[in-house]
């Protein structure tokens, strides 16, 4: 697919994600980590306006100079911005205004891309497309958080309801020999800078599960008192449990004697055969300790990834998010994309059922702080 067609397809998919929303759904920000859908729509548009149209499109007239302050996310190079916690306080611009902004920028981008563009523009455009695909998954998870924390448990989309799953095969472990392996992206396609540079790592012999943990398996941990046994938790994790009075994964609700689970299709009985979801790093590590196992390192995961199916959940690893040897940040604002976050984060590998098509590879390094649960995250065990 050429860049213009890819641009059109990605932009349309973002709007399709938002079609089931009511106007009021666009503006809610329940917690700091969840952005209002309206902000995502504006921010992904701002990216193309700021880094392509304003820089390279001759005669381009900025839609509204105030939008740089509203829709800049974390780019210090670009200037001041609305504090992240205040994104939900922006009643203006309206949802209608933001869609007009999106239409204005799309028309300018389509006109611009009908002319030959140089390799630098192609590189930034490709980054922008991948950036929007990241926000597409965030849109799904942020919408789920917004609706899932509404006491009415509203349905996002009827056909998004989860059908009962078949029982999973028994968990088996794949043995990987010790040795030196090459890690990191290699090829001519797109990758983020944090996947570079490819380099050798040594790993000892290890074994990794052939599948992810299910709800039923995690329910055994819950029922056994896993959330009340400090021995299983990191100190920070135990602090998180105590502070939040945590006793189950996000979106699990014990109603009477029945565990229920909020999905994009509404509140449904917990499916014990389904793959576990919305687990933070602390919970993943505690469950692994309860099983007398551990989480794989990100290098072990990448080495073994060709031997098991992945892509249903982002998978927590035991690895801190750090730069690879030889990593370097690009100059200017683009260099702020990944490198400045390489502290206080844990790596997740794989992808999820919400990840946009064409936006996954076994070298992809997702990362989040260890306490966050709202992404589609699960557990793969190792020892």
pLDDT of residue 330: 81
Name the percent of the chain lying above pLDDT 90: 90
Write out the two tokens for 260.
């229920």
Q: Is the pLDDT of residue 338 over 70?
A: yes
Q: What is the pLDDT of residues 124-183, one digit of tens each?
A: 999 999 999 999 999 999 999 999 999 999 999 987 756 678 899 999 999 999 999 999
pLDDT of residue 336: 75
Q: Is the pLDDT of residue 333 over 90?
A: no
Measure the CA–CA gap between 185 and 195, rounded to whole angstroms.
6
pLDDT of residue 335: 76
Cα–chain center distance at 31: 16
Measure the CA–CA gap between 20 and 94, rounded to whole angstroms.
18
pLDDT level of residue 239 (50, 70, 90 thresholds): very high
Which of 82-86, 182-186, 351-355 is least confident?
A: 82-86
Segment (H or E) for 71: helix 67-71
Cα–chain center distance at 291: 27
Segment (H or E) for 259: strand 258-263
Instruction: Sort strands 377-378 and 314-320 into parallel, antiparallel or unpaired.
Output: parallel
Domains detected in the chain:
3-154 (1.20.120), 173-378 (3.90.1580.10)
Write out the two tokens for 132.
């929007």
For residues 7-21, average pLDDT: 98
Q: What does R_g of the chain's alpha carbons equal in angstroms?
A: 22
pLDDT of residue 162: 63
Cβ(152)–Cβ(30) below 8 Å: no
pLDDT of residue 163: 65
Q: What is the pLDDT of residues 18-27, one digit of tens each?
A: 999 999 999 9
Calculate the alpha carbon distances from 330 to 192, 198, 333, 335 in Å.
11, 17, 8, 4
Q: Is the pLDDT of residue 77 over 90?
A: no
For residues 361-376, average pLDDT: 98
Q: Is 292 helix (H, G, I), strand (E, B) or coil?
A: coil
By the 10 Å C-beta count (0-12 exposed, 13-18 middle, 19+ buried), 44 is classed as: buried
Closest CA to 176 of 210, 214, 199: 210
pLDDT of residue 300: 98
pLDDT of residue 334: 79
Neighbours of 115 (CB within 10 A): 8
């Amino acid at each position: 697919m050429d860049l213009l067609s890819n641009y059109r397809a990605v932009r349309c998919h973002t709007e399709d994600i938002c079609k089931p929303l009511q106007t009021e759904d666009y503006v809610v920000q329940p917690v700091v980590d969840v952005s209002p859908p309206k902000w995502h729509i504006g921010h992904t548009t701002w990216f193309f306006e700021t880094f392509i149209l304003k820089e390279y499109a001759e005669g381009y007239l900025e839609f509204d100079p105030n939008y740089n302050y509203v829709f800049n996310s974390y780019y210090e190079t670009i200037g001041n911005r609305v504090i992240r916690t205040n994104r939900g306080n922006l009643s203006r611009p309206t949802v209608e205004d933001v869609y007009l902004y999106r239409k204005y920028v799309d028309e300018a981008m389509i006109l611009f891309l009908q002319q030959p563009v140089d390799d630098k523009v192609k590189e930034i455009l490709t980054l922008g497309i991948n950036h929007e695909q990241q926000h597409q998954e965030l849109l799904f998870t942020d919408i789920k958080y917004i609706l899932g924390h509404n006491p009415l448990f509203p349905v996002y989309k009827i056909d998004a309801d989860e059908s009962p799953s078949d029982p999973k095969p028994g968990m088996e472990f794949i043995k990987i020999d010790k040795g030196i392996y090459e890690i990191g992206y290699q090829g001519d396609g797109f990758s983020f800078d944090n996947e570079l540079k490819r380099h050798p790592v040594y790993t000892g012999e290890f074994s990794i599960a052939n599948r992810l943990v299910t709800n039923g398996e995690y329910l055994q941990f819950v029922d056994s008192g896993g959330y009340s046994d400090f021995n299983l938790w990191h100190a920070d994790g135990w602090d998180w449990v105590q502070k939040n009075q945590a006793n189950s994964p996000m979106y699990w609700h014990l109603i009477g004697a029945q565990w229920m689970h909020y999905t994009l299709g509404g509140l449904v009985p917990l499916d014990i055969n389904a793959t576990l979801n919305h687990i933070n790093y602390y919970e993943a590590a505690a469950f692994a300790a309860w099983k007398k196992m551990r989480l794989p390192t990100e290098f072990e995961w990448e080495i073994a990834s060709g031997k098991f199916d992945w892509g249903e959940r982002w998978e927590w690893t035991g690895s801190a998010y750090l730069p690879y040897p030889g990593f370097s940040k690009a100059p200017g604002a683009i260099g702020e994309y990944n490198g400045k976050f390489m502290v206080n984060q844990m790596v997740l590998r794989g992808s999820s059922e919400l990840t946009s098509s064409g936006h996954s590879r076994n070298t992809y390094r997702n990362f989040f702080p260890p306490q966050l649960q709202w992404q589609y995250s699960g557990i793969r065990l190792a020892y």
